[in-house]
Amino acid sequence: MGSPQGSTLTSDMTGLIDGSTARSDVSFIDCLPVYVKELIAGGAAGAIAKTTIAPLERIKILLQTRTDGFQSLGVYQSLRKVLKHEGFMGFYKGNGASVVRIIPYAALHFMTYEQYRGWMLDNCNFFGSGPLVDLIAGSCSGGTAVLCTYPLDLARTKLAYQVVDTRTKFSSAMTSLYPRPAYSGIRDVLTTVYKEGGMRGLYRGVGPTLAGILPYAGLKFYIYEVIKIRVPEEHQKSIVMNLSCGAIAGLLGQTFTYPLDVVRRQMQVGSLQSSSIQGDTRYRNTYDGLTTIVRNHGWRQLFAGLSINYIKIVPSVAVGFAAYDMMKVWLRIPPRQKSQAASSG
């Protein structure tokens, strides 16, 4: 009895010295498959990052959809108006739906990227092992995550689009601003939209979403890897370097695909917009949305809110990467090169 216990204690202490944790700690975490750890790490990172930049995300949606009273305002003025009319919590309207969506989205995005990349490296040698693999794997993972979580993104947009003056009575405010009752929460949005249009209604705007996310997700990973390859090897594990490369990749990728995001938002809130203010925004498809916006509002409207996207993308990527790295350490996820073999095994 004494010898085995002593042996166990010795091995535990050795593990602690080597940087691992005690046997009692690894009984659950180390038994989890790598892909499950990636799901947990990605979901946590996404939730933390999304909550951090929620006020900027709310303003971006209000600018993108040309909400009444915000068309001619800048970022600072819009922030002040939301604070004045809705208070501090107005900055986080729709954030519940956003976090509920981003947890499975980010989890699926990170995990499926690793899985797609590992599968391609093992089975598609003609793609090589360079950034092209990251471009394709990133695009596929982005599309997968969008298809699985799109109704939640629709709910987030509809909730964030509503502007209610909390200084007045709820009923009078809603009557003056909207021709229909406001949504009370995520469940109300989903059930109402489903009753009105079925599954097709829940996926309204998914076309431009996929058209935007496929190149964006692919470019983000591609640019990140291209930049990282050119960094000296001794600096490639630096957190600052990873955050910088990720921020640059996010900025470039977002710029190229941003007009598609604008069309998506307007398609999502089309039923809420007043025709007297916006005109008919029920676009037939992505191309129709792009051409109609340019014809009615000019090409600059395709980039409405892009400046705030630049402002929020850097802290979003920074917080996301930092949180993901922290979760990977806590969950003891091996480096990506090693995780490919583990994931495919």
**Tokens linked to 220:** 């983000």
CATH of segment(s) 34-63+73-344: 1.50.40.10
What's the whole-number mean pLDDT along residues 81-105?
82
pLDDT at 137 (0 to 100): 92
pLDDT digits (tens, 9 = 90+) for 270-312: 655 544 444 445 677 778 888 888 888 888 888 887 877 777 7
Query: Is 246 exposed, middle or buried (CB count within 10 Å of its CB: 0-12, 13-18, 19+)?
Result: buried
**Cα dihedral across residues 221, 52, 67, 205: positive or negative:** positive
Question: pLDDT higher for 10 or 214?
Answer: 214
Q: What's the confidence (pLDDT) of residue 22?
A: 45
Q: What is the rounded CA–CA span in Å between residue 131 and residue 342?
A: 21
Which has the higher per-residue pLDDT, 226 or 94? 226
Q: Which amino acid is at 20?
A: S
From residue 232, how far is each of 134, 221, 226, 237, 251 by CA, in Å?
20, 19, 13, 10, 22
CA 229 → CA 58, 133, 224, 241, distances in Å? 35, 14, 9, 12
What pLDDT, on the 0 to 100 scale, is given for residue 344?
41
pTM, two decimal places: 0.66
